[in-house]
Structure 1
Amino acid sequence: MEIKKTILPLFIALFFLSPLWGQEADFRAKYAGLDSLLNEKSFFGNHLTGFILFEPDSQRVIFEKNSHMNFIPASTTKLLTFYGSIMLLNDSLPAFRYVENGKKITIWGTGYPGWKYSKLPQPDIDEFLTKFDTINFSDKNWKDEAFGYGWQWDDYYYSYSVEKSPFPIYGNFVTFLNQKRVPKANIPSFGKVSINPDKTNKGVERQLHENAFYFNPDTYTETKSEIPFITSAETFAFLAGEGLKKSITVAGESLPMDHQVFYGAALEPLWIEMLQESDNFIAEQLLLMMSDKQFLDLNSERIIEYIQKTYLSDLADRPKWVDGSGLSRHNLITPRSMVSLLVKIEKEMSRNQVMQLLPQGGISGTLKNNYKARTPYIFAKTGTVANNHALVGYIKVDSGKVYAFAFMNNNYLNKAPEVRREMEKVMLYIKEKF
């Protein structure tokens, strides 16, 4: 007994002096420091904040706050769309489906967004279609709406809220360049811009219910205006025919099973545009292309339900997912489900490839002006709608480790740049201490 009493204090002393105990104490200090930046007494105590730091290699949660709660994800919703496209789309994308009969062709859209959209590589659609004397266009496979569920109606003339359509052209918006204080359109048929002296707008604007554009020459200073136009089968047929210098007729034919496919460009340029520039239009059309691939019709709601049941049933928490872009405030997801999603994406492509596709702090995309460092350390998708900001992706810390994280903020009254500055303090702490 005397020996045991002697050995026990010695064992305790050796344990407390051991490297293992030192590492534990160091981690506790790091944890406490991170908690002080995120707790109720911090900047993040005055609104709803969720955060999770996860080590993918060991599958360990390092830190979490409210990671089980649902948040409006804004454009980080695009990570769900990205994952769905990995699982459902091939590298070569169908641009349209068609039936050919001599010099006559009937075409159906697949949702492909690239035709005459300057931000994407251009397939030879013009060259192919000009061979035909008669061109018919059918939208009988269109089972969707131009606007997503929960989009704000008064965003209709902003380029981040263009309409969805079965066969987009020009990205479904018209660009006006300011040439000596006169707007010049890239689409000839939209070139007539009326003068409205009662408006004080700096750029070109559009009437709510028609493709009628106006400006005030006394206040017109904007270099470039990108304005969505109202889409329809007739509008597409007219604009496509104008470009091809051919008449295109709107038909009502259903898509037959024995049709052919004209392929467009590769998938990766769409990923880059969607993830780095947070292109809402690309995200929505990607969903429609997935629906086309799976069902041969274009229905966002149907394909979202299919992806959730088939590929996302094992997320930490089931999200409420309603659109491809995150424009809707009806989207809801937990931070831990966002990290679960990153883990699932890594099973389909390498982590390094994912990190290269995402915006890099201080370098590219929507993070070009934030999270700057000598060497990029943040690789993440951003998401912002009024009073809500999220960041989901990877952080590479000074020790060389890479962590996955989801940092979500809802219902704040501060300006978004102020929220980003405070978030950057948190991420810098992790970079230096973890």
Structure 2
Amino acid sequence: MRFTVYLLCLWLVLTGCSTYRPIQRQLRQNPQLTDHATGFALYDWEKQKMVVQHQAHLYFTPASNTKLFSFYAGLVTLGDSIPALRYVTRSDSLIFWGTGDPSLLNQNLPDTTVLRFLRNRAERLVFSTTNYSGQRFGPGWAWDDFNDDYSAELAPLPLYGNFVRFGSPDRIARLDVEPRFFRDSVSAVSERKFSRNVQRDEHRNRFDRPAAVRPFHQDVPFRWSPQLAAQLLADTLHREVATASIPFDHSAKTLYSQPADSLYKRMLQISDNTLAEHLMLLCSSVQDTLNSTLGIQTVLKKHLADLPDKPNWVDGSGLSRYNLFTPRSIISLLQKIYKTVPQERLFQLLAIGGSTGTIQRVYKTDRPFVFAKSGSMTGVYNLSGYLITKKGKVLLFSMMHNNFAGSVADMRNRTAAFLTEIHQNY
């Protein structure tokens, strides 16, 4: 009897392994997956076990897969709403400190809570930045990306997403600038050869544009400063906003803005770097200090100490190549997220294959089956998330491609073909 039970258990183990053997074979032999560094991990949620691992213990540059870590940090640190300001009243003044909330005057995240609050206060408005101890860029960011919309500066009180939106809807020599505050900071330059429509001076808010205007749209980061933030606020509120270096008051009250899911959804689907970076500032703000490194270290220590491999996690967005994660650690993270967020809500926040976000042009189907976060930069393409098979299985996956010389689009298509096959056969 015991021998029979032993044989049955052995048979179950062997058949379980053989079920996924074709996937292992592809990972070892398919030239589409072997001409560069590929890591892959697949986890069966129903069986609660890892069913495929290929170089899953090796470290890869995650790019925007880092945002999954930032998302989890928000889930375990913040409540349902985003803290927007910390404030106290002293005599005739309302003194306020930022929290890193990126929604203030952000066209992509419309919310008027802070504006209504400040506009309706009778006190003198005073803005202080003494609770912020970070730099304007994250560790390892490319310094010459300062003109690109994905590299907006970090700040305790972001406004307008910390960028200027330029646009010309037609060929008339008209340039739309938002916020209008920057209109007088733009110069038309005819003799210069432009690689882009608008180029900002690296160290100040002076913007050059070609004299010959053609239809275009461009978001260009501005140089943030406490004084500029106060000016932009004053310009919108039509009242004075002063700045002062007033030490943070730990008894300060908190003003909340919009639902946290609004921020999570855009960050995960559109892969908004500014939102991801400021989410980590928000996470650190619960300790009354705005510092991304502090937020990251706290989450690693309190909530991610049990990952299979210790992450090298340095920023919120994944812009830095200093970030290094393993596929099997990402699987562990996906398990934690899946246990924390109900499936229906979670799948609406992530990019949906064939439908929304960065993977809407692949996985075309009437019934979406991939819900994931992509991550890409030169030589890097990763996709991690959840896959629903034709049989209804929920599989957690992390596929990481590094060190390839081809295009990201090609690697995206290779990944889609590989995952679609898993969807169809399992």
User: Is TM (by shorter chain) over 0.5?
Assistant: yes
Q: CA contact under 8 A between 2:351 and 2:372: conserved in structure 1? A: yes
Distance 1:160 1:307 in 2: 24
SS at match of 2:351: coil
Match of 1:360 in 2: 352
Aligned to 1:427: 419
2:293 alignment partner in structure 1: 301
Give 1:269's aligned amino acid: S
1:119-155 C-alpha deviation (Å, 9 max, x unpaired): 1141332222123352111100011011000111111
**Percent of residue pairs identical:** 35
Q: What residue identity is the alignment partner of 1:134? A: R
Match of 2:274 among 273, 281, 292: 281
Which residue of 12, 28, 34 maps to 2:23?
34
Question: Does the Cα contact within 8 Å between 1:182 and 1:217 map onto a contact in 2?
Answer: no
3-state SS of 2:233 partner: helix
- Paired residues for 1:158-237 under 5 Å: 158-179=148-169, 180-192=172-184, 193-197=186-190, 198-218=192-212, 220-237=213-230
Are 2:317 and 1:325 equivalent residues in the alignment?
Answer: yes
3-state DSSP class of the match of 1:254? coil
Match of residue 283 from structure 2: 290
Residue identity opposite 1:430 in structure 2: I
| Farther-moved stretch of structure 1 (124-133 vs 375-384) | 124-133
What do the CA deviations read for 1:179-226 (whole angstroms, capped 9, x no partner)?
4243211112211320122123442221111110111133x4352110
- Choose which of 230, 241, 244 in structure 2 pairs with 1:248: 241
Structure 2 CA distance for aligned equivalents of residues 296 and 167 of structure 1: 14
- Counterpart amino acid of 2:405? L
The question of whether the paired residues in 2 share the 8 Å contact of 1:199 and 1:215 is answered with no
Gaps of 5+ in 1: 1-10
Distance change in 2, residues 1:128/1:304 (3 Å): same
User: What is the TM-score of this pair, normalised by structure 1?
Assistant: 0.91
Separation in 2, partners of 1:25, 1:109: 57
Indicate whether 1:154 and 2:151 are aligned: no
Measure, in 2, the Cα distance between the counterparts of 1:397 and 1:41: 22
Rate the CA distance shift 1:127–1:353 in 2: closer, same or farther, 3 A.
Answer: closer
Partner amino acid for 1:329? R
CA contact (8 A) 2:86 2:98 kept: yes
Cα distance in 2 for partners of 1:374, 1:127 equals 43
**What corresponds to 1:141 in structure 2?**
131
Greater mean deviation of Cα atoms: 177-186 or 62-71: 177-186
2:94 counterpart residue number: 105
CA RMSD of aligned residues (A): 2.1
How far is the alpha carbon of 1:101 from its aligned partner? 3.5
The offset of 1:23, in angstroms, is 11
* 1:338 counterpart = 2:292: no
User: What residue identity is the alignment partner of 2:200?
Assistant: R
Structure of higher CA gyration radius: 1
CA distance in 1, matches of 2:289, 2:111: 24
Aligned 8 A contact 1:94 1:263 in 2? yes
Equivalents in 2 of 1:31, 1:222: separation in Å? 52
Q: 1:39 aligns to what SS in structure 2?
A: helix
Q: Does structure 2 retain, via aligned residues, the 8 Å contact 1:202–1:222?
A: no
Name which of 55, 59, 71 aligns with 1:82.
71
Moved over 4 A (4+): 20-27
Distance 2:15 2:250 in 1: 66
1:399 is aligned, of 380, 385, 391, to 391
Q: Give the AA of the match of 1:143.
A: S
Instruction: Report the number of matched residues.
Output: 416
**1:232 aligned partner, one-letter code:** S
Residue 168 (structure 1) shift: 0.7
What is the one-letter code of the residue matched to 2:270? E
What 5-or-longer segments of structure 2 have no aligned partner? Answer: none
Aligned partners of 2:412, 2:26: CA distance in 1, in Å? Answer: 14
Post-superposition Cα deviations, 1:162-185, rounded to whole Å, max 9, x if no partner, equal 111001111111101204243211
Q: Distance in 2 between matches of 1:24 and 1:430?
A: 19
CA 1:133 to 1:75, structure 2 compared with 1: closer, same or farther past 3 Å?
same
Query: Is the 2:17–2:51 contact (alpha carbons within 8 Å) kept by the matching residues of 1?
Result: no
TM-score by length of 2: 0.93
Q: How does 1:30-69 map to 2 (within 5 A)?
A: 31-69=20-58
Distance 1:398 1:228 in 2: 44
The answer as to whether partners of 2:153 and 2:223 remain within 8 angstroms in 1 is yes
Describe the SS at the equivalent of 2:423: helix
Task: State the 1:92 CA deviation.
Answer: 2.1
Contact 1:202-1:221 within 8 A present in 2 as well: no
Measured against aligned partners, the alpha-carbon deviations of 1:251-310 in whole angstroms (never above 9, x if no partner) come to 0101112322222111110110111111111111111011111x2010111111111011
User: Which residue in the other structure is 1:123 paired with?
Assistant: 112
How far does the alpha carbon of each residue in 1:321-372 deviate from its partner, in whole angstroms, 9 at most, with x for none?
0000101000000000000001111222223322221111010111111121
Deviation at 1:420, TM superposition (A): 1.1
Q: Kindly state the Cα deviation for residue 375 of structure 1 after the two structures are TM-superposed.
A: 1.1
Using the alignment, how far apart are the partners of 1:32 and 1:222 within structure 2? 53
Secondary structure of the structure 2 residue equivalent to 1:142? coil
Structure 2 distance, partners of 1:168, 1:301, is: 18
